[in-house]
Amino acid sequence: MIDQNNRAALESMMTSPVYDEQISVRPEGGWPLSMLADMLKVGPPLLTEIIKSMESVKDTEKFVNLVQMLLPEYENDIMSAPRRRRVYKFCFYFGKKYYPLPANMDCPPAEWGNNMPVTLFGLSYKEYHELDMRPGYLLMLSLVVYPWEGDDRDAQDDSVPFNPAAFGNGTKKWKPKASDIEWLKALFTSLKINDHWIAPMGFEMVKVSANEFKLTNAADNPDVKDTIARTLLVAEKLGIKATFIAGKNAAEKTTAARIPLLDKVQDIVGAETVRKIPKRGWEPEDLHKMTDGTRFEGVGYFADWACGQTGCTILDSSYEDCEWVEGMGEPLFKWTKRNIEILTEQWPKTQEIRTKIDKMAIWLEQDQANHFFELVNFLMSHKVKPTHKDRMGFYDRGDRACCLDQFSDEDEEEENDGTE
Amino acid sequence: MNDKKNIDKVIAAILTVPEKKLLLIQIVNSIPIKNGEIDYLEIQKRTLEINLAITEAKIYSVHTMQAVDALLRLRSKKEV
């Protein structure tokens, strides 16, 4: 569910803001045919509609309260409109007074009052790795540092963050003593299948069968590497098979994270241009320094977006950074003055950033190989020493947490307790 | 029996159906309109009565749908 929402967020982000403007709610008269259709629908109300209005009285009350709280000056105008057009009018006046709401005309007024519609545009960890983006975005992304440096998701996968078989040239000369062999034999015999033995220095052994163990959760330090290499030699003497997934440490993985991206970009623009890009990419601050005020303005803002540091909530947060109520298809945002103030204040900057990014993406896409070559040459000509922020191990997912007021499972529980 | 006779029988049957005055319609007509919407405060005051009326209307709707369904199943027969 989160992934689907994040995909939708990226699709929305990659859509030109000009398109959003086109589909936004407009003054009456914008859609004469739909208005005519409304007017032609006359006659006695359907029994089902009457029942619905009676049953949803609490939701209706919420909608009226919402109008009174946010748009008291338009209350009569909104509420005197036919039911189907009330949300439309609400969105129109809201857009005039605050910021344009993501339009969802299919949502009945009764349900509209429950949750505030918010579309997030943040780049998620999964979408970064999926690399399913429009070319302009991929090209700009290849210039930016890996935004999730130090994220525990990258450190989790590789349980042995080096290759024990390739390590320990010095250990090869080492011969196990009888006491070493006896010790491992005794340990292995004492373990039952699936038992874990945790070595105090920082690795784990799991007995997976009568003559096999698995190495896991190994720390990346010379002592552990040395001990593992010796253990493997002893195990070999005993005829015990040792299995492990030889992985990478977090630093290697961070560098490696950009490789699929650079490969993809190479397919678009060729190896020559990609070879010029610094291995680690540039920090957003460096890209700002180099491109702001130039014809390449937008690249720095793109880097801010990719790293979740634009300062605009809806650009910086993705759906994995929200609270989720169990069973709901999307996060539920509250209609609070605080939420509205935040989004209203950030709206002009949000639009400005999206417009600049879109302009740059369009320009790159007009002649992908040549324009990107031009951009990379421009960046390299600055000879700016890339800022190196040591973020290893310090990535805090909370930095991207959506700061808007949301419903949580606790709210649901409280509501249920209240109704019992 | 031909179609005409069938139709006549259906009409005759419908004419025997007694008039039904749904409580829900009466309630709706008695509640004032406020801000383009039925006054929800008034609805909240009459919840018990309204719940009963909604149940009656739903049962009526189900029966009506059954009658409509029965009519739709009638097929015209060729005259012998």
Q: Which residues of B touch A57 (CB under 8 A)?
A: 40, 43-44
Does the pLDDT at position A255 exceed 80? no
Q: Inter-axis angle of helices A259-269 and A368-381, to 10 degrees?
A: 120
- Give the pLDDT confidence score for residue A415 in this predicted structure: 63
- For A36, the token pair is 């005519």
C-alpha B63/C-alpha B71 separation (Å) is: 13
Q: Which of A47, A58, A60, A80 to mutate to test the interface with B (most CBs of B within 10 A)?
A: A47
Q: CA-based angle B36:B39:B45, to the nearest 5?
A: 170
- For A9, the token pair is 């967020």
Contacts of residue A4, defined as CB under 8 A and 6 or more positions apart, other chains included, come to none
Across the range A147-157, mean pLDDT stands at 71
Averaged pLDDT of chain A: 83
Share of chain A above pLDDT 70, in %: 81
C-alpha A166/C-alpha B58 separation (Å) is: 76
Q: Is residue B43 part of a domain?
A: yes
Contact A79 B36 (CB under 8 A): yes
Name the pLDDT band for A24 (thresholds 50, 70, 90). Answer: low
The dihedral built from the CA positions of residue A284, A285, A290 and A292, taken in this order, carries a sign that is positive
DSSP bridge pairs for B37: B34
Look up the domain containing B25 and give its range: 3-73
A357, A301 in Cβ contact below 8 A?
yes
Does the pLDDT at position A53 exceed 90? no
Q: Is residue B78 part of a domain?
A: no
Q: Is residue B80 part of a domain?
A: no
Give B17-69 as a DSSP string: SPP---HHHHHHHHSPEETTEE-HHHHHHTHHHHHHHHHHHHHHHHHHHHHHH
Q: Which of A50, A55, A61 to mutate to test the interface with B (most CBs of B within 10 A)?
A: A50
Q: Is residue B27 part of a domain?
A: yes
DSSP A333: B
Averaged pLDDT of chain B: 83
* Chain B residues within 8 angstroms (CB to CB) of chain A: 22, 24-25, 28, 35-38, 40, 43-44, 50, 53-54, 57-58, 60-61
DSSP bridge pairs for A205: A197, A215
Q: Measure Cα distances from A267 to A81, A135, A184, A369 in Å.
A: 55, 11, 51, 10
- Of A6-15, A81-90, A117-126, B22-31, where does mean pLDDT reach its minimum? A81-90
Across the range A8-13, mean pLDDT stands at 84
Of the spans A6-20, A206-220, A381-395, B46-60, which averages the highest pLDDT?
Answer: B46-60
Contact B54 A64 (CB under 8 A): no
The pairing of strands B37-38 and A241-243 is: unpaired
A368, A276 in Cβ contact below 8 A?
no
Give A131-152 as a DSSP string: ----HHHHHHHTTBPPTTTT-H
Name the pLDDT band for A73 (thresholds 50, 70, 90). Answer: very high
Name the pLDDT band for A52 (thresholds 50, 70, 90). Answer: confident
Of the spans A381-385, A389-393, B49-53, which averages the highest pLDDT?
Answer: B49-53
- Give the pLDDT confidence score for residue B52 in this predicted structure: 94
Across the range A259-284, mean pLDDT stands at 92
Name the pLDDT band for A309 (thresholds 50, 70, 90). Answer: very high
- Give the pLDDT confidence score for residue A250 in this predicted structure: 61
DSSP A292: T
Amino acid at A128: Y
- Give the pLDDT confidence score for residue B80 in this predicted structure: 45
Q: Which of A303, A276, A274, A277 is nearest to A288 (CA)?
A: A303
How many Cα atoms within 13 Å fall on the side-chain side of residue A179? 0
pLDDT tens per residue, range A310-355: 999 999 999 988 888 887 888 889 999 999 999 999 999 999 999 9
- Give the pLDDT confidence score for residue A395 in this predicted structure: 58
Tell which wins on pLDDT, B8 or A398: B8
Which of B24, B35, B44 is nearest residue A57 as measured by Cβ atoms?
B44
C-alpha A258/C-alpha A264 separation (Å) is: 10
Q: Measure Cα distances from A383 to A282, A377, A378, A380, A386 in Å.
A: 12, 10, 10, 6, 9
Q: Which of A350, A367, A83 is nearest to B38 (CA)?
A: A83
Tell which wins on pLDDT, A118 or A37: A118
Amino acid at A260: P
Contact B37 A76 (CB under 8 A): no
Burial of B39 (0-12, 13-18, 19+ CB in 10 A): middle
Is A47 touching B (CB cutoff 8 A)?
yes
DSSP bridge pairs for A216: A204
Q: Is residue B79 part of a domain?
A: no
Which of A57, A75, A76 is nearest residue B40 as measured by Cβ atoms?
A57
Name the pLDDT band for A299 (thresholds 50, 70, 90). Answer: very high
- For A394, the token pair is 């310090």
C-alpha A225/C-alpha A36 separation (Å) is: 77
The structural domain count of chain B equals: 1
pTM for this prediction: 0.66
Is A219 touching B (CB cutoff 8 A)?
no
Contacts of residue A265, defined as CB under 8 A and 6 or more positions apart, other chains included, come to A138, A139, A142, A274, A372
